[in-house]
């Protein structure tokens, strides 16, 4: 059976043109996918026929990146992000995808899907680039203020994600803090440590930033504030170090300069956010992937492929059974 994806064509800084172009790329690369594009008919490029597995669902309302998410989601029930979530909820598609307003996506998904039993807060997991592609960080921005039990819930969802997407049977869970000693950190971290230690998870204890860089666990748990800082810092640091390497190495590389340049640029490309494209919002009782607002066509296509893999790997079913 085909994987059916409901795509918010109006979400993102470069929507709709780049989102539509990315949908066409993904549709051609994945013949067993059906993509439903939600947006006005004018988004389809003139003189170019869509791939046969892309279908327009006319929608004339959407939420801008500068709008208040709660107000916009409530006042615009026919906005594209609301419609793609309801399309999945009603069984017409398997997964929703948006590159649009992250806050609006969170709220629309909660309204449409509700929460999974035992989960109070949704969270976003992201693989740690190509440095450690089978290590996941959760949360990376959905929750900046959490309680200890929320971190336990994130750990359970992150473990289910690692099992479904990477085939890790007993994911090693680490609680990110300021040292490796037990219960080191804030009062929230100390209480979360006790909950994790008493849980059924494969909890290996406290970890620090160096452990993340060396990929010593499968699931890194923290609130979305710290998780987002780790993610963005790594992204910026990798890019800056590779830029410095290009500046310093190329002048002394001699006849190997072009080979060195190609290798460094390939390494930068491997660790670009555009390679991941989108990440799922875990905890809601439905499947939705959210991409970066500045996504161009290649990143949109990568996000659609991530959503496709999430369906094929039974991610939602794994979360329901956890």
Please return the burial class of 184, using the count of CB atoms within 10 Å of its CB with bins 0-12, 13-18 and 19+. middle
Place of tokens 């590389």: 253
* pLDDT bracket for residue 126 (50, 70, 90): very high
* pLDDT bracket for residue 131 (50, 70, 90): low
The CATH number of residue 47's host domain is 3.40.718.10
Evaluate if residue 272 carries a pLDDT over 80: no
In a domain, 232, yes or no: no
In a domain, 22, yes or no: yes
* pLDDT bracket for residue 266 (50, 70, 90): confident
pLDDT for the residue numbered 5: 99
Structural tokens at position 297? 């066509």
pLDDT for the residue numbered 207: 97
Structural domain range at position 110? 1-114+284-322
Structural tokens at position 239? 């890019």
Parallel, antiparallel or unpaired: strands 54-58 and 33-39: parallel
What is the sign of the dihedral through the CA atoms of 220, 223, 226 and 229? positive
Q: By the 8 A CB rule, do 277 and 304 touch?
A: yes
The average confidence (pLDDT) of the chain is 94
What is this structure's pTM? 0.93
In a domain, 122, yes or no: no
* pLDDT bracket for residue 132 (50, 70, 90): confident
Evaluate if residue 270 carries a pLDDT over 80: no
Task: Give all strands of the β-sheet with 172-176 in edge-to-edge order.
Answer: 125-128, 132-138, 219-221, 172-176, 202-207
Neighbours of 134 (CB within 10 A): 14
pLDDT for the residue numbered 130: 60
Relative orientation angle of helices 148-166 and 297-312, to the nearest 10 degrees? 90
pLDDT for the residue numbered 232: 86
In this prediction, residues 182-203 reach a mean pLDDT of 96
In a domain, 300, yes or no: yes
Weakest mean pLDDT among 10-19, 106-115, 138-147: 138-147
pLDDT for the residue numbered 250: 80
Q: By the 8 A CB rule, do 300 and 43 touch?
A: no
290-305 confidence digits (pLDDT tens): 999 999 999 999 999 9
Evaluate if residue 322 carries a pLDDT over 80: yes
Instruction: Compute the distance between CA of residue 286 and CA of residue 153 in angstroms, rounded to an integer.
Output: 17
Evaluate if residue 267 carries a pLDDT over 90: no
In a domain, 309, yes or no: yes
In this prediction, residues 210-214 reach a mean pLDDT of 91
Evaluate if residue 157 carries a pLDDT over 70: yes
End-to-end CA distance of the chain: give it in Å, rounded: 25
Evaluate if residue 260 carries a pLDDT over 80: no
In a domain, 130, yes or no: no
How many structural domains comprise the chain? Answer: 1
Q: By the 8 A CB rule, do 179 and 193 touch?
A: no
DSSP-derived 3-state class of residue 14: coil
DSSP-derived 3-state class of residue 162: helix
In a domain, 119, yes or no: no
In a domain, 240, yes or no: no
Q: Which residue has the higher pLDDT, 56 or 275?
A: 56
Relative orientation angle of helices 148-166 and 187-197, to the nearest 10 degrees? 50
Phi, psi of 167, deg, nearest 5: 70, 25
């Amino acid at each position: 059976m085909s994987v059916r994806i409901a795509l918010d064509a109006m979400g993102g800084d470069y929507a709709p043109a780049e989102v539509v172009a990315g949908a066409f790329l993904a549709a051609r690369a994945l013949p067993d996918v059906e993509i439903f594009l939600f947006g006005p008919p004018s988004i389809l490029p003139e003189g170019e026929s869509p791939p046969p597995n892309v279908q327009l669902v006319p929608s004339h309302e959407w939420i801008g990146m500068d709008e208040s998410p709660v107000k916009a989601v409530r006042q615009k029930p026919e906005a594209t992000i609301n419609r793609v979530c309801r399309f999945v909820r009603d069984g017409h598609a398997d997964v929703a995808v948006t590159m649009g307003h992250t806050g609006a996506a969170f709220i629309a998904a909660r309204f449409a899907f509700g929460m999974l039993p035992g989960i109070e807060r949704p969270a976003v997991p992201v693989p740690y680039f190509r440095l450690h592609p089978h290590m996941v960080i959760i949360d990376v921005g959905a929750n900046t203020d959490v309680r200890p039990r929320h971190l336990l819930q994130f750990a359970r969802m992150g473990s289910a994600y690692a099992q479904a997407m990477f085939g890790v049977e007993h994911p090693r869970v680490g609680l990110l803090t300021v040292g490796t000693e037990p219960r080191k950190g804030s009062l929230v971290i100390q209480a979360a440590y006790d909950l994790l230690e008493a849980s059924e998870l494969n909890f290996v204890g406290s970890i620090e930033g160096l452990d993340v860089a060396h990929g010593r666990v499968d699931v890194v748990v923290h609130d979305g504030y710290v998780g987002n800082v780790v993610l963005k810092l790594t992204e910026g640091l990798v890019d800056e170090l590779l830029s410095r390497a290009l500046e310093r190495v190329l002048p002394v590389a001699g006849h190997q300069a072009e080979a060195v340049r190609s290798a460094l640029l390939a390494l930068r490309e491997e660790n670009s956010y555009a390679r991941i494209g989108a990440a799922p919002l875990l905890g809601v009782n439905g499947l939705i992937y959210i991409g970066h607002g500045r996504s161009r066509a290649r990143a949109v296509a990568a996000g659609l492929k991530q959503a496709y893999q999430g369906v094929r790997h039974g991610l939602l079913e794994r979360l329901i059974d956890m």
